[in-house]
Structure formats: structure tokens, C-alpha cells
Amino acid sequence: MESPASPASRLDFYDFIARMRRPAAAGLFHSIRNFLASLSQGEPNAEEGGARVQAFFAEMEAAIRDHPLWANASNQEIDNALEGLEKFIMTKLFDRTFASSAEDVKADMEITEKIGLLQRFVRPHHLDIPKVLHNETAWLLAVKELQKINSFKSPREKLICVLSCCQIINNLLLNVSMSNDRTLSGADDFLPILIYITIKANPPQLHSNLKFIQLFRRETKLISEVEYYLTNLISAKMFIINVDGRSLSMEESVFQAHMESARLGNHISVASSTSSQGLGTSTAGLNEESGVTEGLRFPFMDSETESLTPGEVKQLHEHYRKVVTRYKLLSKALRKLSVDEDQLLNSVDD
Amino acid sequence: MGCSSSVPARSTGGLNNINNDNSATDSKDLRAKLVLLGDSGVGKSCIVLRFVRGQFDPTSKVTVGASFLSQTLALEDSTIVKFEIWDTAGQERYAALAPLYYRGAAAAVVVYDITSPESFSKAQYWVKELQKHGTPDIIMVLVGNKADLHENRHVSSQEAQEYAEKNNMVFIETSAKTADNINQVFEEIAKRLPRPTAS
């Protein structure tokens, strides 16, 4: 598989630019300039832009096929020219088409933040990844491929990052099946690993990158195997957005406790890196927050033991479980930060 | 688990090149997206690997990985069908993602394991999902896999056959292990694919 920065792909692009500079290409060049100018007016709208760009690609494909500069050219040569065109157009339009709306920016931020939390506690077994497929080295390679996605501005090059990541996972599956005489895995193993890799990688602007590829990669190229692997990353994103306790095989209360403890962890690390009294500041924030929600969270604090109904006892037990889980996680988080629990408790005025 | 030997006969060493020319297709050639649904462990990927390895088509490209595979099948009327087979993750936690995969599919193969009644209920769940949200006119095949394990059978052929008839599906029992009936699954689909209207 070619790499986005491989000499071959750069050559294609320069070849395209060189041909466009020839006097014979003046007509094509003119169309491109007009198109760019027309698309650069008005408010950016990615969806509408996508439709117009795709229509322009189709129009240009026909024009290039009929053009004397490409007379007798092979399909491959024409395809190279179209790849050059895609890269040229999308680099020029990048700022107007990539993460160009407030909603996109917000969606990106939400996913990044969510993955940041999930990273702290999601482990391979939560996603059904069998032990035999645990391979930190291969996973790290896949993570790195996915993280490269923002190093490129053309849809094709971004897509190659996704495909390279998937290929590393496939190679892992193939190697494991050969060395363990195990059935070559299908999607039952592939998707969980891809989701895990996506969580580990927390690829920048995941939502916008996927949207950009879907809208602006030449339609005729977004088919078959390529479409399948892109769909897998889209589905990984969807899984992450909708993740809950059930989807990770844990009690919802435990999941929420994990998320909260991860939030707390992030909060403390942010606070302590920005202020010399980081811990003091963040515990103050914690007190304030728990003051507001205490009544809701601990409804039996003021109840008389004798007056509890069996139903309430059951509820109380459920609460107890939540509190214990939460306490355990908090203690663990504090130990990780090398904070002594008792000392911390003593420092809080009540 | 396992479907005898496990590795594709030949691999080209990578995903199909991103720039692969989508070679000009003959008017008699059909391209069909096929999605595989079914509980994890019922042998979805085994069935496909069997199908793909069993064909002797020197031009077919078997890529690394069993979650996407493509294979061409030549029919008696000289139609050539290129199947693009999309596998889905069968675990419950991934069920909500399936619509992303079966969107636009011409055919769906819903697989269960004849030794597992749970997998048969799961198959029925997928059939309902496809009826509600799948492509209209999607060709559906119900496949009872692991037919070689008949001494452990817990889903009767008759029950499955009746269910399939009621839901307008083709029903086939297969064994990916012995390759029994594997090709039939794909041939039955190929026969039913709409032919391009002659112009």
C-alpha cells in the first residue's frame, strides 16, 4: 500500500500541476479557477460544497478524457490527473470545507473529550477483544497511522491513514491466525480492535475528518473495500458517541462512576498543571459541586432506619454499591496522583 | 471453532490499492454488495472464506483480512457476479451499528448455528431489522451453519424452513467445515439479483 507522502503520489501531483501550466491546458485551468472562485463566495456549507465539488470532479473527468493533452493516455494516467485535481481543489478549499461550521467544531470537541475519558478505563476485554489478539506493538502502529490523519489536507491522503490503520489490524489478525492455527477472524474481531485503537489514538477532529472524506473524496473511489473500511471507522465513532455501561458489559452505575472519576482525574491534572496550588483549587470545586447534588445523590441521609420500607432498603443497597464503587475509584485516582487520602480529608473544612 | 484450514489461499499483501482502477465492467457483469449478519461464533467468516477459497478464479484478489472479501461467480447464463462481502461484528454490543453496514446491500446472509437456539433467535432479530430498515427488495438468505454437527442439533430444519418461507427467504443449511452447500448460498443469491434492463 502506498503511503500518502510516497514519492509516487507526490510525483502525480507535480505532474498534474506541470500539465496544468501548459498553454494547451489553459481552458481546464480556467474552469478550475472559475470553480474555486464560485465556491469561495457566501457562507461555507460543507454539504452543499460536497455536492458541487463532486459534480465538478465528474465534469472535469469528462473534460480531461477528451482533452488533447491526455490523448492516448491510459486509465491510470487519467486517474492520476484526477487525483491531482482532487488534491489541488481540496487544498485550496480546505479552510472553507473542513470543520467549517460551529456544529462540526463542537462535535469534534465532544468526541475528543469523551475519548479522553474512555481512555482512562476502557480495556480490551470490555470490547470482546480476545487475549490472543493483544499485541501492544501492532496496536501502537495502528494508533500512529490514525493519528496522522491531520497531517494531510486532501481527502485521499486522509483516507489512506484510515486504510493503513485497518491494514495493520488485518495483518495482526492474519499473523495470529497463521501462528495459532486459528480461524482467520472476520468483523467479530476486527471492529472491536478498531474501536479500541480509535480510543487509544483519540485522532484529532475525528468527526470532521470523516465528514470531509465522505463529502469530498471522489465518489468513484469511495466504493467497495475502501468504503467498507471507512464505514468501520464511522461505526467506531458511533459506538464511542453512544457508549454506555451496557455496551462495555458493566453496570450503568459503574460506568458512570468510571466516567466521573475520569473527569475528576482530568480536572485535577489540568488544575495541577496550571496552578501551583492545583489540588487545593480542585477540591474546592469538588465541594461546591457535591453541595448542589448531595440531596439527589444521597436521598437516605436523613431517613430513620426503622421507617425504611423493604423497597427502600433495596434502593439503599443499590446506592451503597454505587458509593463504594465510587469510593474505590476515587481512592485509586488519588493514589495514582500520590495524594494521601487522610491528609486530603483533613485539609477539607466542613 | 475453526473451519479447517484458516488462511486465504493467496494474498496480495494488502488492501486493494486505493487507486485500483474500477475496471470498466461488461454489461453482463453485476456488482452486488452482500452483508453478513449473525451472532458471533456462528461461523460467518468461515462461510465466506470457504466460498472465496473454493473458487478457482486466477484473477480474483484475496486480500488480507476476512472482514471484507470479494469474489466473482460465473453463472450458467454467462453472467458474472462480483460479490463484495461485508462482514459485521456479531456481538450484542455492536448490534446498533449494523444499519451502517447493510445500507445499500443487495443481499443479506443471516447466519445461525444449528446447535444454538440463541443464535437462531438472534437471526430472527436480524430478519426483522432488515425488513424494517434494509434496502427494499433486499435478497435474504437464512443460513443454518455447522450442519456437520447434527448430533448436537437444537434447531430443526423444518422449523427454520417454515420461518424462512414465512419471511420470503431462501433457506440453506451449510457446513463451512466440510464446504457443504457453501457455493449454493451464493448461487441462489446470484440467480435472484435483478439483471440490468437491456437497452
Best of B30, B67, B82, B85 to mutate (most A CBs within 10 Å, chain A) = B67
pLDDT on residue A269: 64
pLDDT on residue A108: 97
Cβ pair B68:A174 closer than 8 A: no
**Structural domains counted in chain B:** 1
Quick check: is B180 in a domain?
Answer: yes
Quick check: is B19 in a domain?
Answer: no
Question: In this predicted model, what pLDDT tens digit does every residue of A63-98 receive, in sequence order?
Answer: 999 999 999 999 999 999 999 999 999 999 999 999
pLDDT on residue A343: 76
Q: Does the global pTM surpass 0.95? A: no
Question: In this predicted model, what pLDDT tens digit does every residue of A271-301 receive, in sequence order?
Answer: 555 544 434 333 333 444 443 444 456 677 7
Quick check: is B179 in a domain?
Answer: yes
CA distances in angstroms from B107 to A164, B40, B123, B162, B185, listed in the order given: 28, 20, 15, 20, 11
pLDDT on residue B78: 87
**Alpha carbons A44 and B167: distance in angstroms, whole number:** 47
Domain that holds residue B124: 30-192
Q: Which residues on neighbouring strands pair with residue B32, listed in sequence order?
A: B83
pLDDT on residue A39: 92
CA distances in angstroms from B47 to A19, A89, B64, B180, listed in the order given: 49, 44, 16, 10
Query: b/e map of A164-178 (b: 16 or more CB within 10 Å)?
Result: bbbbbbbbbbbebbe
Closest approach of chain A CAs to the CA of B188, in angstroms?
A: 22
A-chain residues within 8 Å CB-CB of B18? Answer: 1-2, 156, 159-160, 163, 221, 226
DSSP B16: P
CA distances in angstroms from B14 to A163, A189, B43, B127, listed in the order given: 10, 18, 24, 33
CA distances in angstroms from B40 to A150, A280, B77, B164, listed in the order given: 34, 50, 36, 21
- Residue range B176-196: mean pLDDT, rounded: 93
Q: Identify the residue with better confidence: B65 or A183.
A: A183
**Alpha carbons A201 and A144: distance in angstroms, whole number:** 7
Asked whether residue B82 carries a pLDDT value surpassing 70, the answer given is yes
Quick check: is B86 in a domain?
Answer: yes
Cβ pair B64:A171 closer than 8 A: yes
Least confident of A121-125, A230-234, A277-281, B163-167: A277-281
pLDDT on residue B13: 39
pLDDT on residue B198: 59
Quick check: is B15 in a domain?
Answer: no
Quick check: is B8 in a domain?
Answer: no
Quick check: is B114 in a domain?
Answer: yes
pLDDT on residue A290: 42
Would you give the distance in Å from CA A270 to the centre of its chain? 22
| Strand locations in chain B (E) | 29-38, 68-74, 80-87, 107-113, 139-145, 170-173
Least confident of A187-191, A213-217, B24-28, B47-51: B24-28
Nearest CA in chain A to B99: A235
Query: Of all residues in chain A, what percent are helix, strand and coil, respectively (each to 5)?
Result: 80, 0, 20
Quick check: is B170 in a domain?
Answer: yes
Question: In this predicted model, what pLDDT tens digit does every residue of B39-68 receive, in sequence order?
Answer: 999 999 899 998 988 754 444 444 557 899
Asked whether residue B7 carries a pLDDT value surpassing 60, the answer given is no
CATH number at residue B50: 3.40.50.300
- Residue range B77-89: mean pLDDT, rounded: 94
Confidence of residue B199 (pLDDT cuts 50, 70, 90): low
CA distances in angstroms from A265 to A8, A117, A191, A204, A259, listed in the order given: 46, 9, 29, 21, 10
Residues of chain B whose beta carbon is less than 8 angstroms from a beta carbon of chain A are: 1-3, 6-8, 11, 14-19, 21-22, 36, 40-41, 44-46, 48-49, 63-68, 70, 84, 86-91, 93-94, 96-97, 100-101
pLDDT on residue B6: 40
Least confident of A271-280, A316-325, B91-100: A271-280
**Alpha carbons A201 and A145: distance in angstroms, whole number:** 9
* Percentage above 90 pLDDT, chain A: 63
Q: What strands lie across the sheet with B68-74, from one edge to the other?
A: B68-74, B80-87, B29-38, B107-113, B139-145, B170-173
A302 in Cβ contact with A312 (< 8 Å): no
Nearest CA in chain A to B66: A186
Closest approach of chain B CAs to the CA of A8, in angstroms?
A: 12
Confidence of residue B16 (pLDDT cuts 50, 70, 90): very low
B-chain residues within 8 Å CB-CB of A13? Answer: none
User: How high does pLDDT run on average in chain A?
Assistant: 86
Q: Identify the residue with better confidence: A188 or A349.
A: A188
pLDDT on residue A195: 98
Confidence of residue B24 (pLDDT cuts 50, 70, 90): very low
* Percentage above 90 pLDDT, chain B: 68
Cβ pair A225:B63 closer than 8 A: yes
Question: In this predicted model, what pLDDT tens digit does every residue of A14-70 receive, in sequence order?
Answer: 888 888 899 999 999 999 999 999 998 888 889 999 999 999 999 999 999 999 999
pLDDT on residue B174: 96
Asked whether residue A199 carries a pLDDT value surpassing 70, the answer given is yes
SS3 B173: strand
**Alpha carbons A11 and B11: distance in angstroms, whole number:** 28
Q: Which of residues 157-216 of A touch B (CB under 8 A)?
A: 159-160, 163, 166-167, 169-171, 173-174, 177-178, 181-188, 190-192
| Strand locations in B66-190 (E) | 68-74, 80-87, 107-113, 139-145, 170-173
**Alpha carbons B44 and A188: distance in angstroms, whole number:** 9
Q: Identify the residue with better confidence: A263 or B8.
A: A263
